[in-house]
């Protein structure tokens, strides 16, 4: 799943998105990834990943990040074909391929 949100800033439109996914246990020791990615639309993005052993820890981290005055956030389900890719290489166009999931209340 992904959480995606964007904010208007003094220096122009800046987009942020963070997400988590379940990883095949045989491939990764840490099963859940929380990914925070930031950057200007049309520019280079940067990302930071945090790994957790279970979903509860991952969701707890996401909830803490939501306390940073996020205005809009949506839970999105990853297209199965995108699950085969590494999160670090997802482009903005990939976000448009994600299927909308029930809205996540970050307030």
List pLDDT tens digits, range 50-69: 555 566 666 666 666 555 43
Contact present, 74 and 15 (Cβ < 8 Å): no
Q: Domain locations in the chain? A: 2-100
Q: Which of 4-13, 24-33, 74-83 is most confident?
A: 24-33
What is the rounded distance in angstroms from the CA atom of residue 19 to the CA atom of residue 91? Answer: 14
φ, ψ for residue 33 (rounded to 5)? -115, 130
Contact present, 3 and 17 (Cβ < 8 Å): yes
Give the tens place of pLDDT for each residue, 59-97. Answer: 666 666 555 433 333 333 334 344 344 343 434 334 333
The three-state secondary structure class of 106 is coil
> To which residue do tokens 């839970």 refer?
75
């Amino acid at each position: 799943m992904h959480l995606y949100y964007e904010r208007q800033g003094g220096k122009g439109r800046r987009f942020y998105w963070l997400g988590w996914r379940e990883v095949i246990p045989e491939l990764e020791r840490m099963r859940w990834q929380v990914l925070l990615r930031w950057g200007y639309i049309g520019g280079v993005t940067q990302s930071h990943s945090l790994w957790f052993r279970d979903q509860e820890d991952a969701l707890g981290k996401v909830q803490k990040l939501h306390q940073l005055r996020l205005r809009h956030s949506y839970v999105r389900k990853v297209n199965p074909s995108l699950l085969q890719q590494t999160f670090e290489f997802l482009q903005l166009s990939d976000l448009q391929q994600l299927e909308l999931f029930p809205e996540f209340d970050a307030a």
